A = this chain, B = another copy of it.
Amino acid sequence: MPKEKYTSIYKDLKAKIESSEYEFQELLPSENSLILTYGCSRNTVRRAIQALVADGYVQTQQGKGVRNIFQPAIQASFTIGSIESFKESALRNHQSPKTKVLCFTELTADKKVSSRTGFPAGSELYYLQRLHYLDGKALILNHNYFLKSIAQGLTPKIAEQSIYAYLEQVLHVAIVTSKRTMTVEKMTEIDGKYLDLGDCNCLAVVSSQTYNGDGVMFEYTQSRHRPDYFCFRDNATRHP
Contacts and interface: CB of A to CB of B under 8 A. Distances in A.
A47 to B, nearest CB: 10
Given A177-B235, A203-B184, A233-B179, A215 B25 contact: yes
A236 to B, nearest CB: 5
B213 A180 contact: no
A53 B118 CA distance: 20
A3 to B, nearest CB: 10
Q: What's the interface size class on A, roughly?
A: 35 or more
A178 B236 contact: yes
A34 interface: no
A235 B38 CA distance: 32
Contacts of A211: 59, 69
B236 A59 contact: no
Contacts of A81: 81, 234, 236-237
13 contacts: A56-B177, A82-B237, A83-B238, A176-B238, A178-B236, A182-B182, A183-B204, A184-B203, A184-B228, A199-B201, A200-B201, A200-B202, A204-B204
Given A82-B236, A177-B237, A183-B227, 19 more contacts: A53-B177, A61-B214, A69-B177, A69-B211, A69-B215, A71-B118, A80-B234, A83-B238, A176-B238, A178-B237, A178-B238, A180-B233, A180-B235, A182-B231, A182-B234, A184-B225, A185-B227, A201-B202, A202-B202
